Chain A
Amino acid sequence: MGRFILRRFAMLIPVLVGVSLTAFLILHLAPGDPARLMAGVEASQEDVDMLRHKFGLDRPLPVQYAMFVKGLVTGELMSLRFESPAMEIILPKLKNTLILACASIVVAVVLGVTAGVLSATHRKSWIDYAATILSLFGISMPVFWWGLLLMLLFSVKLMWLPSGGMGTFRHIILPAVVLGTASTGIIARMTRSSMLDVLRQDYITTAAAKGLTRRLVVNRHALRNALIPTVTVVGLQFGQLLAGAVLTETVFTWPGIGRLLVTSILARDLPVVQAALVIIALLFVFVNLAVDILYAVLDPRIRYNG
C-alpha cells in the first residue's frame, strides 16, 4: 500500500511541471508584448519598459520560468493590483471556494448515488425515467442561468434566502445547490450504469442463490462494487466544481478563487491569474491522487497488484 501511494506520487511530478509550465506559457501565448498586456493599452512606453524590467520579461524564457516557479514556491510572486504577494490574496479565497465546493459535493454525492441506485434497481419503472430525465436536466442546466432563476425565486420573490455574499449557513444554500446540480446528474448517471453493470455479474446471482435478501444483494454485494467507478467520477466532479465556481461565485458574489480569477483577468493582474490556475490545478491533481488511493481501498484487486 505504501509503495502504491509512493508510485502515484512519483507519477505526479511530470504533471506538476507541466501544469506550472502551461500556466507560465499561457502568458506568452498572447499575441504581442506581455508587458504591454499587463500595463494596458493606455500606458506610456516608459511604464511598459519599466514593467518589463521589473518582472524580468526582458530575460530569456527559461530564466523567466525559473523565476516564476521560485516565486510560486516562496510565495514571493507579487500581485500587480494589490501590491501584495499573490498567495496572500489567493489562499483566503481558496478557503471560501473549498467550503462551497465541499458543500456541493456532499449534496451531489448523496442525491446522485441515491438516485442512481434507485434508477438501476427499478430499471424501466417511472422512478428510473424520472431520475434519468431529472439527471439530464441537471447536466444540461447552465449554472449561471440556473443561479439567476433560483435567485429570482428565493431571494427576489420569496425573500427566503440572501442573493449573495457569504456569512451564515443561509448564504451557502443557493450557491451550493446551483453548483452541485450538474454533478448530481452526472454522478446519478454514472452510478446507474455501473450499478446495472454490476447487477449483471455472476457474483450477484451467486449472492441471490445463497438466499440473501434483495436488499443485502443490492446494498452489500452490488453497491460496494458499483461505487468503485463512481469514486473516480466524484473526483473528476470535484474538479468540475472548482471550475464551475468561477460562474457560481460570479452569480452569487461569493468571495472565492473563481471570482478572484475573473476579476484578475479583467484587471490584467497576470501573476494572480497564473498562481490561481496553478493552485486550482494542484488541488485537483491531489484530489485525484486521493481518489486513486480510495480506489485501492475499495478494490482489493488493485491493492495487492499495485
Chain B
Amino acid sequence: MADRSQGSLVARRILRNPIAVAGLAIILGYLFIAAFAPHIAPFDPTAQDLSRSFAPISAGNPMGCDEFGRDILSRIIFGARTSLIIQFFSVCIALVIGVFLGALGGYFGGRLDEAIMRVMDVLLAFPGILLALAIVAMLGPDLRNLIIAIGVYSIPQFARITRGSVISVRQNDYVTAARAIGENQSSIILRYVLPNAISPIIIQTTLRMATVLLTAAGLGFLGLGVQPPEPEWGTMLSNARMYLRSAPMVAVFPGLSIMLVVLGFNFFGDGLQDALNPRLKE
C-alpha cells in the first residue's frame, strides 16, 4: 500500500477480524515450516524402511509411516516446500503476464483490448483444472511443467480482474487531470492507474494461492503432478488411496495439510476483501 494511513487502517481491520487473523496465522506457520523444513523434519522424507511399512502413529512417527515405511510427518513438512514453490512461481507467472495484459487492454481499450479478451475467453472456455491438466499431460509431469501449466491457466483470471479494475479507475477525474498536466501514457498507467487498481489484484493473488494449491494437489492425485519419491501432498494422497481400507490414516494427513493451507489463504483473502473494500463496511 502506497498510502501509510490507509495501509494501517487496512491492517487494523484485518487484525480485528478473527477469521483473517486465523488465516494469517496458518499462512505464517506454513511459510515457517516450508522455510525451515530440513531443521524441523525428524527424518529424511525419502528414506525407506520397509520394516516400518504402515507403522502406526507413535512418539517417533507422530503421523505414522507410509507403504515404504517413510515418516509421514517428514514428508508433509517437505511437501510444504514443494507446494510453496509451485504456488509462488505459478502465481508469479500469472500475475506478471495477466496484470500486464489486463492493464494494457483496460487502459487502451479498442481492438487491442478486444483481441486480448478474446484470447482470454478461449483459455477460460476450458474450465477449472482442465487446461492445466491438458498442458501438463502434453508437456510431461514434472515440477517445472506443473508450474507452467498452472501459471498459464491462472493468467485469464488476473487479466480480467486487472482489466476491470483499470477500466473503473481510468474513468476517474484524476486520470484526466494527469493528462491535462501533460503526464505521458506510461507515467499515467504506472503512477495513477495501477496504484489505484491494485486492491482487487492483491485479493486475487491471495485467493489464487489457494486455488493453485488445490489444482497442483489435484494433478498430483491424478498422477500428473510432481513424481515420487519427491514429497508432494497430492501425490501422497494418490498413493494412500490404494490402501484406504487397510490404512486409512495414511490418507488423512496429506489431505488435512492441503485443506489447512488452502483454508489459510481463503480466510486471509476473505478478510483482505472486507478490509480493502470499505463499501462493505458501514
Contacts and interface: CB of A to CB of B under 8 A. Distances in A.
Interface of A: 14-15, 18-19, 21-23, 26-27, 29-31, 37, 132-133, 136-137, 139-146, 148-149, 151-152, 156, 189, 193, 196-197, 236, 239-240, 242-244, 246-247, 250-251, 261-262, 265-266, 273, 277, 280-281, 284-285
B135 A247 contact: no
B129 A247 contact: yes
A148 B241 contact: yes
B122 A19 contact: yes
B251 interface: yes
A77 to B, nearest CB: 16
B222 A18 contact: no
A27 to B, nearest CB: 7
Contact of A281 (B118, B126, B258, B266): B126
8 contacts: A137-B259, A144-B217, A144-B234, A156-B244, A244-B129, A247-B221, A262-B133, A273-B134
A139 B19 CA distance: 15
Given A18-B122, A148-B244, A29 B218 contact: no
Contacts of B218: 142-144, 246-247
B133 A281 contact: no
Contacts of A242: 127-128, 130
Interface residues of B, number: 48
Given A15-B121, A247-B218, A277-B126, A148 B139 contact: no
Given A29-B135, A149-B255, A152-B244, A243 B122 contact: no
Contacts of B119: 18
Contact of A142 (B126, B244, B255): B255
A136 B237 contact: no
B125 A246 contact: no
Contacts of A14: 118, 121
Q: Does more than half of chain B's interface fall in helix, strand or loop, or is it mixed?
A: helix
Given A140-B266, A277-B134, A239 B223 contact: no
Interface in B110-153: 118-119, 121-123, 125-130, 133-135, 137-140
Contact of A18 (B125, B127, B245, B251): B125
Given A27-B138, A140-B210, A141-B259, A280 B126 contact: yes
B266 A156 contact: no
A239 B222 CA distance: 19
B127 A240 contact: yes
B262 interface: yes
A239 B153 CA distance: 14
B126 A140 contact: no
Contacts of A29: 135, 138-139
Nearest to A136: B266
B183 to A, nearest CB: 34
A145 B244 contact: no
A29 B134 CA distance: 10
Given A136-B270, A145-B251, A243 B258 contact: no
A142 B138 contact: no
B224 interface: yes
Given A143-B218, A285-B125, A243 B130 contact: yes
B181 interface: no
B118 A18 contact: yes
A244 B128 contact: yes
B255 A145 contact: yes
Interface centre among B125, B129, B210, B244 (most CB of A within 10 A): B125
Nearest to B241: A148
B109 interface: no
A256 B9 CA distance: 50
B236 to A, nearest CB: 11
A244 B128 CA distance: 7
Contacts of A27: 138
A265 B133 contact: yes
Contacts of A146: 255
A37 B140 CA distance: 10
B151 to A, nearest CB: 14
Contacts of B245: 156
A193 B128 CA distance: 23
Contacts of B251: 145, 148, 152
Given A29-B135, A151-B244, A140 B129 contact: no
A85 B221 CA distance: 29
A142 B262 contact: yes
A140 B263 contact: yes
A139 B118 contact: no
